[in-house]
Amino acid sequence: MHSPRLPTNERIRSEVLKEYGLLDTFPEEDYDNITKLVATICEVPVSLITMVDGERNFFKSHHGVPFQESPRDISFCGHAILSDDPIYIIKDARMDERFIDNPLIADAGAVFYAGVPLINPEGFALGTLCVFDDQPRILSASQTDALLILGKQVVNSMELRRQNLKLEAAKKQLLQHNLELKKFASHVSHDLKSPLANIMSLTQLLKAELTEKISNTSLEYLHFIEDSALILKDYIDGILLHYKADELLKAEKEDVQLPELCEDIKQLLLAKNDLLKYTGPDEVKNINKSALTQILINLVDNALKYNDEEKRILKITYASTPKYHEFSVSDNGIGIEDGKQDMIFQLFTSLPNTHRKPSTGIGLSTIKNLVNKLDGTIHVQSELGKGSVFTFTIAK
């Protein structure tokens, strides 16, 4: 008996075989259907799909035998993967010096063998689709063709599995990277908020104290510092909102007292001379309060920021439709130029203006994404110098 030699590329071939995730796995119907079909077409008692591993043949599918693996050094398939022929045939192993005294002949009745090497797209022979019989025989042309065709089908199925495993691994890695990025962005953003708040407070104190004592140029420098600090604040708030948006969507729905929510927003954002009115019912039932609160805070904050009136007036309204909760936030601010109103919802897009109102283009994009994931829509109606009305819906 001659044990099959190892291919010259055995180390790489073995590593590639592991990429398919087939070794030591349970039977699968798709592969079992192929071996059953092959046995029927070739009129043989045994058919196998083998993966030629380091020291064994693992049978991904075994029709006609009860065991799931056998030693590689006595295997017929170990010889088949070395062949350059599309199908490797042993008509009578008892008469072939390579298999004389092979225990498979006596113990398993392996007399006839025909195996199609399973060659992957890179050219590695990973195993075989093979058939055995306990007597010598010759395959017909149609049987040979069927064996070759089904061998290609096995390879195709293996490749699909391999690509799916790669996609799953890439998806897992991407999710991990996203989690790390989210953690990093949240950590850095929180760390920046405190010193940035100090810069803004000190700048405002300096402006109040030095307005009458310094030149217009120096006062302009303080304005630039304040604007830059506001831009940084918006970036930080936008980043935090962007990365916690998915968490907001996981919140349980609950009944919300809208007058109380509007009062909370008032205390959080409005200055002494500002006015915020609410129109609508006191309670809205079964809604994601966390997401709603974040959307309203962002829209109210924008309405205040882009408003040069001495008395900034805002109004929040709510109406119920059969399928949606509908909210609107209106203001008496600077307004948005016609034809550019859809641009404000694009990420990192900000409109130039002459009102010293810096913008990052993060907040409204994230809000639109959040509204969309709540199965709603958001749009704006606006006129320069007369204010804006942002209207959004949330599916019930």
22 and 157 in one domain?
yes
- Secondary structure element (H or E) that encloses residue 330, with its range: strand 324-331
Domain boundary among 123, 152, 171: 171
> What is the rounded distance in angstroms from the CA atom of residue 114 to the CA atom of residue 217?
92
Q: Within a domain: residue 228?
A: no
Domain with 311 in it: what CATH number? 3.30.565.10
pLDDT for residue 340: 77
In degrees, to the nearest 5, what angle opens at C-alpha 313 toward C-alphas 309 and 317?
150
Measure Cα distances from 324 to 318, 367, 371, 376, 394 in Å.
Answer: 11, 17, 12, 8, 5
Work out how many domains the chain is built from and give that number. 2
**Segment 355-388, tens digit of pLDDT:** 445 555 677 888 998 999 999 999 999 988 899 9
Question: What is the average per-residue pLDDT within 184-193?
Answer: 73
**Segment 161-173, tens digit of pLDDT:** 999 999 999 999 8
Q: Which residue's structure tokens are 């034809």?
A: 339
Domain boundary among 140, 171, 202: 171
**Segment 252-299, tens digit of pLDDT:** 899 999 999 999 999 989 988 899 999 999 999 999 999 999 999 999
Q: Within a domain: residue 315?
A: yes
Question: What is the average per-residue pLDDT within 234-258?
Answer: 80
Domain with 118 in it: what CATH number? 3.30.450.40
The domain containing residue 74 runs over which residues? 10-171
Torsion, Cα of 273, 278, 279, 283 (10° steps): -160
Helix (H, G, I), strand (E, B) or coil at 300: helix
Contacts of 366 (CB under 8 A, 6+ apart): 238, 241, 242, 245, 298, 347
